[in-house]
Structure 1
Amino acid sequence: MNSAIHLTENLNSDLAYQKAILGSVSRTFALTIPLLPPAIEVVVGNTYLLCRIVDTIEDAAELNPAEKQRLSKLFLEATLGTIPVASFVSPCLDALRGYSNVDELDLIAHTPTVLRILHTFPDRDQAAINRCVSIMSDGMSHFHNRQTQAGLKDLAEFEKYCYVVAGVVGELLTDIFSHYSPEFAKRIQGHEQLAIAFGQALQMTNILKDSPEDHARGVSWKPAKMSQAELLKIAHKKLQDSMSYIILLPENEIGMRRFCFLAFGLAVMTLEKIASREEFSNRSEMKLSRNSVWIFYAFTKIAAGNTFLMKSFFSAASKQLRKLSARNY
């Protein structure tokens, strides 16, 4: 009995840390993840933190490609349980001594906490998460040596990059949603590609928004010799597929719909801002105001259960994107 109480207390402590650090490392996901049904909120939050650790290694400008590959490999092995977690945490914190984001360093130091929570999930959720982290970690390692000022080789390589860092997350969400909702599991059959587009649309938004900062540090994740307008046209198509994905979620699953629609809407509004400018020199210029975010957050309460309202928002908020999409390049 005492042992069971002790385990419960430990898990509650771990979950409290997960909730707190989520708010520190991502304002956006700290806003969207709590909208999910409690049964999957913890699973998606845990997955986000695992992916954030991979991202932190990727974003560390002070690490060379070989060091990033080594740490990504250690993280994957620790997640899959083939090495002790300390065999990842110690060398990673050592390598990131000069890293400035203290919240992300704290997250890495608490990798054991995040993995303990992971191991409480049903086997099928753990398997889906392990697949996602494996593809993301291996995929990012593949691209570590491909960072150049000119950008990725071509559109196919760009699509692959967006898949390994975000499209695979769309697949994971679909797995988790399907485990939770048999109705969604039926609806998504034959439309799985929409899940990938949903993740890729969000990633393309980040790539375009962050492009000035990436350029300043000598890298680009955009395809070489492809204009911003051409990329926005592709992003708009992926947003259309994302809308189709959200509509497949059952109307009574308001939490799942709000979670997806909020992330989608923020991406639409950000890309629309980018589309209205020929160029910009800082991502802060493309940042949505706090007021805009909260107004849209409130709107999702009304709109998430109403397909007509969601489609109306998309149409009204993407006028510049639609104009670009109508042009031939």
Structure 2
Amino acid sequence: MSPSENPSTDLAYQKAILSSVSRTFALTIPLLPSIIEKVVGNTYLLCRIVDTIEDAAELNPQTKQKLSQLFLDAVLQKVPVEFFVEPCLEALNHYGNQDELDLIAHTPTVLRILHTCSEDDRAAVSRCVSIMSEGMSYFHGKQTQAGLQNLQEFEKYCYVVAGVVGELLTTVFSNHSAEFAKRIQGHEDLAIAFGQALQMTNILKDSPEDRARGVSWKPVGMNQEQLLAIAYEKLQDSLNYILLIPKEELGIRRFCFLAFGLAVMTLAKIAKQKEFSEKEEVKLSRKTVMTFYTFTKFAVNSDALMQIFFNQFSKSIKAI
């Protein structure tokens, strides 16, 4: 076995690159039980590769669609992974984010880790990446300055890039927690809302950056207030989702509540500002993030405390 095919070396790379490409998820994913941490961290990196292709302003929609398909074929083992890596790095030779390019170069490492996961977890990851990759391919041609056609298209976009991740998390959590699997039955739609709430937060927060590159993911004819009202409903569903997680599963609860709480606080900042021209204006400070991180240690033991947090911090969102 060569050093590059050593499972512990591969996992060390996964942890290291995760902290390079996402400050938030590098904070939340390690809270999960190790067996789930591996799957969720792996899925995040695979989704990040799809995201990188989407974000590459220099690529035309046809190139993006071709690379997305090659990536999906590599994940599903229909083609050797090199068939994706080489043309992708060539197409992105002017791309500015070196960490994301490094991740693409290490796609073989990420896929090796995937194949050490259980069959059930692998099936869930493959489904998630397939829906996301194919969904984003559909939206590659929809990138315009005006925005998405209508609310229905916006909801679909939020589903393929994030609602499907909520479904993946639910499947993986259920694979490893019989009690959660029992509780979530009949409430699976809450998982989609959880993912969509996080995505809506990102769309609103990143809108100045998107606008600068000539793209909008907001629906045409809908203003920030209307979108915040929809986000508030999805946040309510998200909290109900978290409350279904058994208290014995503290790591899972904390992972979800941390991501949820950061979204609530970000949307509250956005709601207080009618307009902002840079996402730095609504970005949470490191101190705020770390204070909330500490708070989650205690809050996840109490449904009431989580509810109080939401009621308090969502006032400005609800008031709109």
- TM-score of the alignment, normalized to the shorter chain, above 0.5: yes
Q: Deviations over 1:182-228 (max 9, x none)?
A: 00000000000000000000000000001111111111000000010
Q: One-letter code of the match for 1:60?
A: A
Q: One-letter code of the match for 2:136?
A: M
1:204 aligned partner: 200
CA–CA distance in structure 2, aligned partners of residues 91 and 7 of structure 1? 25
2:95 aligned partner: 99
CA 1:7–1:94 in structure 2 vs 1: closer, same or farther (change >3 Å)? closer
- Counterpart check, 1:52 vs 2:53: no
2:20 aligned partner: 24
Q: Contact (CA 8 Å) 2:194, 2:237: kept in 1 or not?
A: yes
Q: Structure 1: which 5+ residue stretches go unaligned? A: 325-329
1:85 aligned partner: 81
2:59 aligned partner: 63
Q: Contact (CA 8 Å) 2:131, 2:164: kept in 1 or not?
A: yes
CA–CA distance in structure 2, aligned partners of residues 305 and 249 of structure 1? 11
2:116 aligned partner: 120
CA–CA distance in structure 1, aligned partners of residues 140 and 34 of structure 2? 36
1:271 aligned partner: 267
- Counterpart check, 1:33 vs 2:29: yes
The Cα shift of 1:38 comes to 1.0
CA–CA distance in structure 1, aligned partners of residues 267 and 89 of structure 2? 35
Q: Structure 2: which 5+ residue stretches go unaligned? A: none
Q: Contact (CA 8 Å) 2:10, 2:110: kept in 1 or not?
A: yes
CA 1:185–1:210 in structure 2 vs 1: closer, same or farther (change >3 Å)? same
1:327 aligned partner: none
CA–CA distance in structure 2, aligned partners of residues 265 and 33 of structure 1? 15
1:321 aligned partner: 317
- Counterpart check, 1:254 vs 2:254: no
Residue range with higher mean Cα deviation, 210-219 or 190-199: 210-219
1:213 to 209, 219, 237: 209
- The SS at the match of 2:6 is helix
1:10 aligned partner: 6
CA 1:252–1:146 in structure 2 vs 1: closer, same or farther (change >3 Å)? same
Identity %: 71
Q: Deviations over 1:149-184 (max 9, x none)?
A: 110000000000000000000000000000000000
- The SS at the match of 1:121 is coil
2:306 to 288, 306, 310: 310
The Cα shift of 1:319 comes to 1.0
CA–CA distance in structure 1, aligned partners of residues 89 and 292 of structure 2? 38
The TM-score, its normalising length taken from structure 2, stands at 0.99
CA–CA distance in structure 2, aligned partners of residues 130 and 207 of structure 1? 25
2:167 aligned partner: 171
- Counterpart check, 1:297 vs 2:286: no
- The SS at the match of 1:52 is helix
1:145 to 141, 146, 150: 141
Q: One-letter code of the match for 2:304?
A: F
CA–CA distance in structure 1, aligned partners of residues 233 and 145 of structure 2? 26
**What stretches of structure 1 move > 4 A for 4+ residues in a row?**
6-9
Q: Contact (CA 8 Å) 2:3, 2:9: kept in 1 or not?
A: no
1:189 to 182, 185, 191: 185
Q: One-letter code of the match for 1:116?
A: R
- The SS at the match of 1:103 is helix
Structure 1 vs Structure 2 CA RMSD: 1.1
Q: Contact (CA 8 Å) 2:4, 2:10: kept in 1 or not?
A: no
CA–CA distance in structure 1, aligned partners of residues 279 and 192 of structure 2? 25
CA–CA distance in structure 2, aligned partners of residues 187 and 179 of structure 1? 13
2:150 aligned partner: 154
CA 1:9–1:75 in structure 2 vs 1: closer, same or farther (change >3 Å)? closer
Q: Contact (CA 8 Å) 2:245, 2:252: kept in 1 or not?
A: yes
CA–CA distance in structure 2, aligned partners of residues 154 and 246 of structure 1? 29
CA–CA distance in structure 1, aligned partners of residues 318 and 101 of structure 2? 41
The Cα shift of 1:308 comes to 0.4
- The SS at the match of 1:272 is helix
The Cα shift of 1:318 comes to 1.0
The Cα shift of 1:9 comes to 7.2
Q: Deviations over 1:57-82 (max 9, x none)?
A: 00001101001000000000000000
Q: Deviations over 1:273-298 (max 9, x none)?
A: 00001100000101000000000000
CA–CA distance in structure 2, aligned partners of residues 148 and 93 of structure 1? 25
- The SS at the match of 2:54 is helix
The TM-score, its normalising length taken from structure 1, stands at 0.96
Q: Contact (CA 8 Å) 2:43, 2:125: kept in 1 or not?
A: yes
